[in-house]
Amino acid sequence: MARTLLLDLDGTLVDTVPDLAAAVNRLMRSRGLPVFTQPQVAAMVGDGVAVLTARAFAARDVQPDAAAVADLTADYTANVAVASRLYPGVLPVLTALMRQGWRLAVCTNKPEKAARLLLHSVGVLPLLYAVGGGDSFAWRKPDPAHLLATLCKAGGKADAALMVGDHHNDVVAASGAGVRCIFAGWGYGPIGMAEGSAAVARTIAEVAEIANRLLPAR
């Protein structure tokens, strides 16, 4: 059975906050509302566009209007790779893992179209067996069904898979799916979210080392 590495996107593979913050702030300005700093937006991400929209408006003590989610989705999708960048070492490490026989897949709460556009732009998409976005299935993280559906799409099995992510949603989804999780310590989530993870990695290179230790090649 091939080993599968399921990867979160925002805060794990790519620093996406610059483009997310820009899109959120354009939405805020269009509604006459104050904008946010990048760290403020970073604290809001991880649960998909609808939740991000709700959190942004709640921070300004107003309810989002009926078009807000669609407007943010369209704007962000059109500007998904303006300032977003891969974290150091991601591309060579993922390439090496693929050559070692790992199947790579992304499991993200970002809409699949935006995720694919971003992954293509940063050069990661050709390495992937599957992309499970926040709108790809009837579930999204922290529901373990999202992780399992992405894993199935990649042709993997839970007992030969690992999840890598920087958010409690990744840890909870992995635990519920019976998949061990490596916490991405460089990402947006505070280290306290790593509770229950198999290990905490400080860099993507450490992810590769830990992954091969937890699931050695047979």
Q: What are the residue ranges of CATH 3.40.50.1000 in the chain? A: 4-15+84-214
| Per-residue pLDDT tens over the stretch 181-212 | 999 999 999 999 999 899 999 999 999 999 99
- Which residue stretches of 6-162 are H helix? 17-30, 38-42, 49-59, 68-78, 90-99, 112-121, 144-153
Give 131's strand partners. Answer: 106
Q: What are the residue ranges of CATH 1.10.150.240 in the chain? A: 17-78
Residue 1 banded pLDDT, cuts 50, 70, 90? confident
The three-state DSSP-derived secondary structure of 25-42 is HHHHHHCCCCCCCHHHHH
Residue 96 banded pLDDT, cuts 50, 70, 90? very high
| Degrees, nearest 5: CA angle 24-78-141 | 65
Whole-number Å distance between alpha carbons of 48 and 108: 8
Taking Cα atoms as reference points, which of 55, 11, 51 lies closest to residue 33? 55
Percent above pLDDT 70 for the chain: 100
Is 1.10.150.530 the CATH classification of the domain at 17-78? no
Residue 36 banded pLDDT, cuts 50, 70, 90? very high
Catalytic positions: 8
Give 181's strand partners. Answer: 163
Q: Is the pTM of the predicted complex or chain greater than 0.85?
A: yes
CATH for 4-15+84-214 (3.30.590.20, 3.20.20.140, 3.40.50.1000, 3.30.70.360): 3.40.50.1000
Provide the mean pLDDT of the chain: 97
Residue 119 banded pLDDT, cuts 50, 70, 90? very high
The pLDDT assigned to 8 comes to 98
Tokens of 3: 């080993």
Residue 218 banded pLDDT, cuts 50, 70, 90? confident
The pLDDT assigned to 21 comes to 98
